[in-house]
Amino acid sequence: MITSDIIRVFVPAMITFLVGIGITPFVTHFLYKWKMWKPKAGKIAFDGKPAEVFNQLHQARETGTPRFGGIIVWGSVLLCATFLSVLSFVDPESFGGLTFISRSQTWLPFTALVAGALVGFFDDLFEVRGTGGLKLRIRLLIVAIIAVFCAVWFYQKLGVSSISFPFVGIPLDLGAWFMLFFVLTALFMYAGGVIDGIDGLAGGIFCTMFAAYAGIAFFQHQFDIAALSAAIAGGLLAFLWFNIPPARFYLSETGTMGLTLALVVIAFLTDMHGGGKGIMVLPIIALPLVVTVASIILQLVWKKLFKKKLLRIAPLHHHFEALGWPAYKVTMRYWIVGVVAALIGMTIALL
């Protein structure tokens, strides 16, 4: 029985990886043929002024490298899920156990993944057409709307209003405030998506996080969630194969928006709904995203209070670049921190 459960998780991950590797040449050909990258280099900071340090570091890479790399991730997951569903329909006795899209466990995170990916796709499309993409407040509003839908589903359909509380056996009942907490968590994690700024960085970090939640869900016997998380990790590995410097394309919004939303939903599903501590360990497993958002907030507050920068540039990974660290060193050290944080988070979740 244990062996069959492991197969249910690892087969989707393997198929998604192979599908991702297989579709990448076609996606790459299309992206380069139609020059799907920013027509003009340069980034605007949160204060509305040009991000001078960032532009000095990345201006050469801003154009000539396509966006839309997230298609490899969610596209391979979608194709894998469809393929396994067809196999299950044709021969349910042999392949029925491999289908991981189910109403009871994975419809919600899968929907969040696809919805966020589609919105991010249009943002990238506007970006490459030279209109600057969707404004930040519009993206935040859309993320909030998707999060509200998911929060209401948890509260009304699943009857979840509590969260695990750090180092206390008794859960914290938030009542209707649970929905606000869910939305704020989704917005915070989405803000961490700006970690997609160095070749290979975001792919490795997201892969580690989803692999960690695959393990947590597996030990909770939520095998469909574990399989979906593993499948996303497999798609990210395929993406990462081509995103290692020099990157063939960037994850961009069509990747980060869907991934952060799916991550939040999975974290809540592995919390009180799954009898676990998925939310309690989210800040640990997603430590690189948390640090990314925290560094941006600290930078803004510091400039407001003291009229000068705390960091050379925010978020933190670009600060290390500005200090002279090679991009590959920043990426690999973040990977190491991400793996260690994920292992610590999994350990706490399984205690």
Q: For the chain, give the percent of residues with pLDDT over 70.
A: 93
Model confidence at 131, pLDDT cuts 50, 70, 90, reads: confident
- The predicted structure's pLDDT at residue 50: 60
- The predicted structure's pLDDT at residue 45: 60
pTM of structure: 0.96
How far apart (Å, rounded) are the C-alpha atoms in residues 159 and 157? 6
**Per-residue pLDDT tens digits for 138-187:** 999 999 999 999 999 999 999 999 999 877 778 999 999 999 999 999 99
Q: Is the pLDDT of residue 1 over 60?
A: no
- The predicted structure's pLDDT at residue 49: 62
- The predicted structure's pLDDT at residue 3: 73
Model confidence at 46, pLDDT cuts 50, 70, 90, reads: low
CA 160 from centroid of its chain's CA atoms: 23
**Per-residue pLDDT tens digits for 296-332:** 999 999 999 999 999 999 999 999 999 999 999 999 9
- Domain edges within the chain: 2-280
Mean pLDDT computed over every residue of the chain = 93
Quick one: tokens of 324? 């002279």
- The predicted structure's pLDDT at residue 105: 96
**Per-residue pLDDT tens digits for 61-74:** 667 899 999 999 99
